[in-house]
Structure 1
Amino acid sequence: MTTATLDRPATAASLTYEEIQAFLFAEVRTLDDRDWDTWLTFYHKDCPFWMPTWDDEDKLTEDPANEMSLMYYPNKQGIEDRVFRIKTDRSSATSLPEPRTNHYLSGIEILSREGTQIKLRFNWQTLSYRYGATDQHWGTSFYTVETSGGRPLITDKKVVLKNDHIHHVIDVYHI
């Protein structure tokens, strides 16, 4: 199934599990392919992108505006700015050369369907290779996907990084 299949108006109820899965696979494929412009098309203009930090060993921070986050963009403009910095090497956080990544998704669950919105949860693992070393990151993501437009759009993204003892900068392509 291709993303072209998803380029049609749909309700949350009409989007099949396989179409949801194809949507998620297509999003991470753009990260692995470093296809930044296409990756941005998966996000609604008001989509917050949040990766909370662990307040202690078993509790996540809850408020990105007032507590520490590993990553927080309040809307797509922040995500676009990050992509601009990656593409133009205008950030000290940019890894040069960019690592080669491979994303794996599993345990995709539909948490709810209300009107044209779908709430999802899934596990992920990303392997990245750079300078002869392979790193791995894993966690759980929570998405809200809006299906009322021509194709699904992510309207809320929360990424929980489970192995947060990291030895280098983590970026959007690592998760």
Structure 2
Amino acid sequence: MTTETLERTGTSPAMNYEAIQAFLFAEARALDDRDWDTWLTFYHADCPFWMPAWDDYDTLTEDPQNEMSLMYYPNKQGIEDRVFRIKTDRSSATSLPEPRTCHYLSGIEVLSRQGTEIKLRFNWHTLSFRYGKTDQHWGTSFYMIDASGPKPLIIDKKVVLKNDLIHHVIDVYHI
């Protein structure tokens, strides 16, 4: 979402709720459309992308450096590497053909605002179809967005997968 788009819709670069919602929907649409290059533009270079695991006591792990994670990229370079592997079929975890997905977002909450940084929480449900079978994944995401530039950027992303008993490898497009 550009500043021009924000101004045209009557919002400020600091982002109102409608602009935040549009930003999140656009990110989900890029995943559903498999538009990897566009999807990457939503992330700041230093953005960690973390999906903690549930431990034996049904508690989320807290330290991606020292505890099990379902997914962890310390910055955008890791996310870019994952996209490269998806696009070039250079990963044993890549699903071929790629699943068709549909992301649903709900319960979008602005938890806090500090200047141009916005902390969000929202629920998501993703349906994915592959080989005649539909799978579903759901959870809660926590984002920190920096709205100071010409386009808002995700500067921190934590995804909590609620249905963590899954029968195949989970990938960025499932969440």
The answer to whether TM tops 0.5 is: yes
Opposite residue 165 of structure 1, the aligned amino acid is: L
- Counterpart position of 2:30: 30
Q: How far does residue 9 in structure 1 lie from its aligned partner after superposition?
A: 7.5
Q: Which sections of structure 2, spanning at least 5 residues, go unmatched?
A: none
Q: How far does residue 111 in structure 1 lie from its aligned partner after superposition?
A: 0.1
Instruction: Tell me how many residue pairs correspond in the alignment.
Output: 170
Does structure 2 retain, via aligned residues, the 8 Å contact 1:9–1:151?
Answer: no
CA-based RMSD of the aligned residues comes to 1.4
- Counterparts of residues 46-125 of structure 1 (less than 5 Å): 46-125=46-125
Asked if 1:40 is matched to 2:58, the reply is no
- Counterpart position of 1:139: 139
Q: How far does residue 100 in structure 1 lie from its aligned partner after superposition?
A: 0.2
Q: How far does residue 151 in structure 1 lie from its aligned partner after superposition?
A: 1.0
Q: Distance in 1 between matches of 2:152 and 2:44?
A: 9
Q: Distance in 1 between matches of 2:6 and 2:82?
A: 26
Using the aligned pairs only, state the percent identity: 81
Runs of 4+ aligned residues of structure 1 deviating over 3 Å after TM superposition are: 6-9
- Counterpart position of 1:169: 169
SS in 2 for 1:10: coil
Asked if 1:10 is matched to 2:3, the reply is no
Q: Which sections of structure 1, spanning at least 5 residues, go unmatched?
A: none
Q: How far does residue 124 in structure 1 lie from its aligned partner after superposition?
A: 0.1
Does structure 2 retain, via aligned residues, the 8 Å contact 1:9–1:148?
Answer: no
Question: Which structure is higher in RCO with an 8 Å CA cutoff and minimum separation 6?
Answer: 1
Q: Distance in 1 between matches of 2:6 and 2:160?
A: 27
- Counterpart position of 1:154: 154
Q: Distance in 2 between matches of 1:126 and 1:100?
A: 10
Q: Distance in 2 between matches of 1:23 and 1:58?
A: 32
SS in 2 for 1:94: coil
Opposite residue 93 of structure 1, the aligned amino acid is: A
